[in-house]
Chains A and B, each alone.
Chain A
């Protein structure tokens, strides 16, 4: 097996822990060490690494009760430089296989947080607009959602628009809701996406879901930007 990033051979070190159930390593030991997990204290609402229980951004969200449709978001990794390069290669240069790097981390991160609602919750990946999906060839959120041990459904539809990443915070927050729904869900929904930056996208999607009968909406994202 070769490292998906640097193409060096990966050699498993057999230890007491992975003896019965080997981990699948997609990155070599060095590249793997460049991925930074969010650990220590984090914001209970958006997973940002900080000492406050609720970070400043989320306090602002909480003031606007009707737009804040998200119970909380859980993220796994920090958005460091290595991660930025990784995501760029994965999403924008279309190296689909790179997504598999996150399979184990996604599972391991998901289980303890959402264990209680695992049985009846449904994962809904944030969709791409038709043009964007055609251009990219895959939806990264759907790939992440498929790693999860729960059912995932594509119930959202996204209208054409500008790329979120090209907008400022203000523009993003005040943008029009681009989502429509194709099927209503009356179970708790865990929205899945690659990056949580301002949280607007998730909340737009959450709003549409809630308006159509969904009781609770959570966020599960790979990276807290």
Chain B
């Protein structure tokens, strides 16, 4: 069985992929392979049988994540809940959260508290901690599902953690807790007070990095920094992994032995006890557990003189972790951590071919990146190809400077004179490095933006990666180069799928109360936006980034859109244009079209390619023509000055009306008496001041699109408008009930789809 433990581990991967794809094809391929190897006597009975058992066992053991299943389960109505806190309390500057298990059920609740002032939970509320039994009066909600393609599905995310409900606590005083007991409770208490201690005794900037890199708590790092590291493939440095665990072990072992406190024997036993505690202290992320369990294995192997291959250790660790927590396999960090480690272990022979440590580091960085490219596209839709080079500099910087310095700072922190010097030094150096990464981000920003790779492409990708690395291992550089070229081709062809696709789409995004339409022409001949609204911040009435970050950008990136040909803006209200500023920061935009009477005085964005258009102007994007029907004179009202567009897409005539009122609608049908509309974007989110009944009779649309927020304070859409639309024979599609609405077409035929069932 030695050297063959990866077979049962692969069986686990296969059974979970089978669950995820909802198709047994991958298991069939795996079985054929397994039987063939057994038949050809490449594997003995033991790995063969264990793999089969593993495949069968785990395909029952790993649960399927079904979002719909939980939809039907209404939360219990009783307000008074009793239960246990089953995770450490996550304290962030603007959010405090933990998971609560309701007593005598398996229902878990994600509890959230948004404090007005910073709270030190560990010192102020010592009873609110891991393992405490609490009573609380609060209402339970079902986590919100995604309502747009590409949007983060919070419901699915919660399901993957086994969480059925969420609840927002109004005050921590409402929690009536009885402190828990036990080992874990004490460990987490120590951790919580250490976090408090670090935050209190070390400067904020440095403390954030100590918490992230030594305690696995990223919440105090600036969001921009985390985003920057993620985009540049440096996130693995922010997640505690083998690198950190290795350093911790080396330093602790060195201290124990060199100070003559322990013999080597005892020091090793000490490490065995210390590692699990460290994993808990370091926040217990899957990558920490992976590294710690592997380290424990190696110490045991060293002590017992057992011999077993490194891939066996990794495989057994993998299986052990899943047996402990079956949902962990859906954890992104878990997947990335194991993929990278597995890739590097396979490459040992390849790495030993070269003696140059620079070449080795480059190769390590390269392999780590190559292993996870399909995952990066799937989860983040963006990839910086140059990140391999950046890793080359930043990994040693973190290994030899950042982590040792932070450790030293932590150990010396009781002596404030020494620690403040180290603190200062760290800030000076680290700021410069972060600035440097920021500069690289500015100048070398050549990202690949794409949605998930197709299944076939992923299979081909990994197949050729094996050939590529296999040839490299044998020193056949030419053949390996050809495979490399094929890999690049696979990615490029897969990314350019939209350019070969005859399918076009018109999408009405669900951005709440506001408008955002995205038109993607077939063969990617053009991408057109009509309005891009945002929510407004409560404090200063500025456009908030939330709609862009949560809906528009994820949609665009998931569709691989990094260039927009035209944005039409109907009028200057923020629920129609608020996200434009954010789009311009990220994405290349050719032209913005506005009307003559667009009041741009208060516009925050500064953009040169703005074109003003007037009645009867036509704009051609790709092969699609947009005709401006209004406004023709200044109506002294932003809504009535809305740009009204007429176009034909997918065999349908579309009328985009912005927020015009009945008066304006009547004027348009008077000026264009022969107009024939199939799809009407209902003006002003279905307000009763728009959508005149007579106009509706004349236009007689087959479909009416209403972009409107759920339970909005304006009472949109009005019942009267809905009734009139229904009476006119139109099918009403609305974002508040249906989520995003998509019209997909090939040539002159198309169909509307609702995102929510």
Contacts and interface: CB of A to CB of B under 8 A. Distances in A.
Partners in one complex: yes
B332 interface: no
Contacts of A213: none
Given A9-B2, A13-B348, 9 more contacts: A10-B3, A11-B2, A13-B3, A14-B346, A15-B473, A17-B470, A19-B346, A22-B37, A23-B42
B348 A21 contact: no
Interface stretch (B54-62, B273-281, B304-312): B304-312
Interface in B26-52: 33, 37, 41-44
Ordered nearest first, which 8 A-B pairs have the shortest CB separation?
A: A12-B3, A16-B469, A14-B311, A16-B470, A17-B470, A15-B349, A11-B309, A22-B42
A21 B2 contact: no
B6 interface: yes
Given A21-B37, A21-B42, A16 B3 contact: no
Interface residues on A, range: 10 to 19
Contacts of A22: 4, 37, 42-43
B474 interface: yes
B43 A14 contact: no
B350 interface: yes
Contact of B42 (A11, A13, A14, A24): A24
23 contacts: A1-B2, A11-B2, A11-B307, A11-B309, A12-B4, A14-B6, A14-B346, A15-B346, A15-B347, A15-B348, A15-B473, A16-B346, A16-B349, A16-B466, A16-B469, A16-B470, A16-B472, A17-B349, A20-B33, A21-B42, A22-B37, A24-B41, A24-B42
Contacts of A20: 33, 466
Interface in A82-119: none
A19 B348 CA distance: 13
A15 B42 contact: no
A14 B309 contact: yes
A106 to B, nearest CB: 15
B625 interface: no
Given A24-B41, A24-B42, A16 B347 contact: yes
A19 B2 contact: no
Contacts of B190: none
B345 interface: yes
Interface in B353-393: none
Which one of A1, A10, A17 has the greatest number of beta carbons of chain B within 10 Å? A17
Nearest to A17: B470
A22 B36 CA distance: 12
Interface in B393-413: none
Contacts of B346: 14-16, 19
Contacts of A11: 2-3, 307-309
A11 B4 CA distance: 9
Contacts of B4: 12, 22
Which one of A11, A15, A19, A22 has the greatest number of beta carbons of chain B within 10 Å? A15
Contacts of B347: 15-16
A16 B309 contact: no
Contacts of B307: 9, 11
A16 to B, nearest CB: 4
A122 B255 CA distance: 69
Nearest to B367: A16
Interface in A1-54: 1, 9-17, 19-24
A19 B343 CA distance: 11
Contacts of B2: 1, 9-12
Contacts of B350: 15-16
Nearest to A20: B466
Which one of A1, A11, A14, A20 has the greatest number of beta carbons of chain B within 10 Å? A14
B206 to A, nearest CB: 42
A21 B466 CA distance: 12
Contacts of B349: 13, 15-17
A182 to B, nearest CB: 32
Nearest to A8: B307
Contacts of B41: 24
Given A20-B33, A22-B43, A14 B345 contact: yes
A23 B309 CA distance: 15
A9 B312 CA distance: 15
B318 to A, nearest CB: 14
Nearest to A12: B3
B474 A14 contact: no
Contacts of A10: 2-3
A141 B366 CA distance: 48
A114 B130 CA distance: 70
B470 to A, nearest CB: 4
Nearest to A9: B307
B354 to A, nearest CB: 15
Interface string B321-360: 0000000000000000000000001111110000000000
Contacts of B348: 13, 15
B304 to A, nearest CB: 13
A23 B40 CA distance: 11
A23 B2 CA distance: 14
Contacts of A9: 2, 307
Contacts of A14: 3, 6, 309, 311, 345-346
Contacts of B3: 10-14
A13 B309 contact: yes
Which one of A9, A16, A17, A24 has the greatest number of beta carbons of chain B within 10 Å? A16
B466 A12 contact: no
A9 B307 CA distance: 8
A15 B349 CA distance: 7
A12 B309 contact: yes
A8 to B, nearest CB: 9
Nearest to B1: A1
Nearest to A16: B469
Given A9-B2, A12-B2, A17 B311 contact: no
A159 to B, nearest CB: 37
A21 B41 CA distance: 10
A17 to B, nearest CB: 5
A15 B474 CA distance: 11
Contacts of B345: 14
Nearest to A21: B42
A23 B43 CA distance: 9
A57 B470 CA distance: 40
Contacts of A23: 42
Contacts of A17: 349, 470, 473-474
A15 B342 CA distance: 10
Interface in B286-311: 307-309, 311
Contacts of A15: 346-350, 470, 473
B573 to A, nearest CB: 58
Nearest to B469: A16
A12 B41 CA distance: 15
A78 B412 CA distance: 64
A17 B468 CA distance: 10
B584 to A, nearest CB: 44
A213 B346 CA distance: 53
A11 B6 CA distance: 13
Contacts of B473: 15-17
A10 B309 CA distance: 10
A156 to B, nearest CB: 30
A19 B33 CA distance: 11
B494 to A, nearest CB: 22
A12 B6 CA distance: 11
A39 to B, nearest CB: 14
A51 B349 CA distance: 31
Contacts of B37: 21-22
A129 B57 CA distance: 56
